[in-house]
Structure 1
């Protein structure tokens, strides 16, 4: 699956699950590890886990291997699709770490 189609599928899932403040950053000029970073805000631990689990359930449809980190405490969950890394963060964590400013120089 091409990265743009992968991104579109991920965004559709995030929007369906009412993720807030979806931010997409092209990271190709910063790193060779992945092409895009998507940062979203979840409203609670349960909401964050639901988003991560639904992204994981689409692995066969998206034909991608998916790795998830941080689902235990759910304040900051990383879902790694290889080409795209999704950060699911609660508002407090997102404000504190401010990944948008850190990566978007």
Structure 2
């Protein structure tokens, strides 16, 4: 059974939360891009935690029958991107998140803070 993009975004956010991700935001990209429905953005204090969050998201999505299409940044782990088609997870170190300002870049996206 394939998850809806909204349920998928919630599952990604929960998997991030399970590994103590910080400031988890779900950005609705429906009206802003044709490439994805949601960005899930979060931060971690260390590169090790960034990788742990990415690994947990990947594991939880695989268990749900959802495979990622593309992964970037795992080696450096300042910003890991996991592309699940209609949902894209962005896991940053806190410093990288401030530097790249993804939420500002897509400031017109309706955004909700994930609460476990």
For normalisation by structure 2, the TM-score amounts to 0.85
Q: Which has the higher helix share?
A: 1
- Compute the RMSD of aligned alpha carbons: 1.1
List runs of 5+ in structure 1 lacking aligned partners: none
Contact 1:6-1:62 within 8 A present in 2 as well: no
In the TM superposition, residue 29 of structure 1 has moved relative to its aligned partner by 1.0
In the TM superposition, residue 60 of structure 1 has moved relative to its aligned partner by 2.8
List runs of 5+ in structure 2 lacking aligned partners: 109-116
Question: In the alignment, what sits opposite 1:100?
Answer: 103
Q: Give the 5 Å matches for 1:42-53.
A: 42-53=44-55
- Which 4+ residue blocks in structure 1 deviate beyond 4 angstroms? none
Contact 2:83-2:89 within 8 A present in 1 as well: yes
Deviating more after overlay: 89-98 vs 60-69: 60-69
